[in-house]
Amino acid sequence: GFILEDGFNSDDGSGAQKMNGAFSRECKLYINGGFGQIGFGRLGTLANGAQSNSILSGWALGTSYQTQGTLTSFMKNNGRANNAIAYVSPSFAGLTVHAMYSNGTKTDTAEWAKNDHYYGLGLAYQLGGYRNTLIFESADNKGGNGETAYNVNLGLGYNFGAITPQFAYQYAWQDTQYKQHVFGLSAAAPVAGGTVKAGVKYLLGKNETDTFKAATGEDKYRSLSISAAYEYPLSKRTTVWGFASWADGDKGYSADNLKNLKAAGDTLKTANFDGYVFSVGMTHNF
């Protein structure tokens, strides 16, 4: 089989992934068999939160509720990887093994030793009401600063019927750059014909870079975020929803320091960590 998935901004039709060419969300060719599944192409990494090979779990609001509502905006993640190969094992009493490798996450035109390589290994347990995952990832940054970045993700959840509580945790580090922890506690429950989703997440970390220290006068950063959403199905394919979120940054992620980081050209998604978001919308599945 194959998956070809594109994304575009509904405001102006521009490409949502800011890449040239179509199918920039996922471009995958795969085969299934008694051995499991093996796929090739541009793939979402294991803890990306989106696309067919992602197994990230532990957060009720998923990845669709703007930057403050997603878990991945607080976490370190590897996004999508070009030139990737992924393997999914058969299920053994609800347990599956997931492995992924990219020969060049952006391009593979340089020598192998000069490409950015991604490595991922994960375990997923889904049986009955359980959905638990454990993921280890690394990116060697050969085309960047040459220092490998690592992250470990744990996701736990159980569907009790009336409510589905979930817990997520990540530890991420890059030796001379940063070390950080992210905790997420959330739940989903049916209410008045729809679904209420709510969660709180907390980020704390230390950034060792000279750029961060110069811009903020700090080497530590914090952020607390509270989010809630309500989804109501108008039909089997159409859902309306509302969403609200609040985030409060501290230390290096205080409101003033986030402005300083932006002025210094920081590449972090600094707008996620302090402020308010309110939105409403409608989703239609074809």
Task: Spell out the residues 6+ positions from residue 235 whose beta carbon is closer than 8 angstroms to its own.
Answer: none
Between 249 and 22, residue with greater pLDDT: 249
- As given in the structure block, the two tokens for residue 51 are 């696309």
Residue 215's H or E segment, with its range, is: helix 210-216
Q: Burial level of 53, CB count in 10 A (0-12/13-18/19+)? A: buried
Query: Looking at residue 144, what is its pLDDT?
Result: 76
Asked if the model's pLDDT at residue 14 lies above 70, the reply is yes
DSSP 140: -
Cα separations in angstroms, 140 against 73, 171, 239, 240: 21, 17, 41, 41
Cα separations in angstroms, 105 against 84, 111, 173: 8, 13, 19
Asked if the model's pLDDT at residue 77 lies above 80, the reply is yes
Beta bridge partners of 165: 187
Rg from Cα positions in the chain: 19
- Return the closest-CA partner of residue 222 out of 260, 256, 259, 249: 249
Answer whether 243's CB lies under 8 Å from 236's CB. Answer: no
Superfamily of domain 2-284: Porin (2.40.160.10)
Asked if the model's pLDDT at residue 269 lies above 70, the reply is no
DSSP 89: P
DSSP 117: -
pLDDT in tens, 109-147: 778 888 899 999 999 999 999 999 999 999 999 877 789
pLDDT in tens, 157-202: 999 999 999 999 999 999 999 999 999 999 999 999 999 999 999 9
Instruction: Count CB neighbours of 238 within 10 A.
Output: 12
Task: Spell out the residues 6+ positions from residue 133 whose beta carbon is closer than 8 angstroms to its own.
Answer: 55, 56, 57, 58, 122, 123, 124, 125, 153, 154, 155
Looking at residues 94-123, what average pLDDT do you find? 90
Answer whether 152's CB lies under 8 Å from 173's CB. Answer: no
Give me the percent of the chain exceeding a pLDDT of 90. 73
What is the distance between the alpha carbons of residues 54 and 226, in angstroms, rounded to a whole number?
24
pLDDT in tens, 22-76: 788 899 999 999 999 999 999 999 999 989 999 999 999 987 787 788 899 899 9
Give me the percent of the chain exceeding a pLDDT of 70. 95
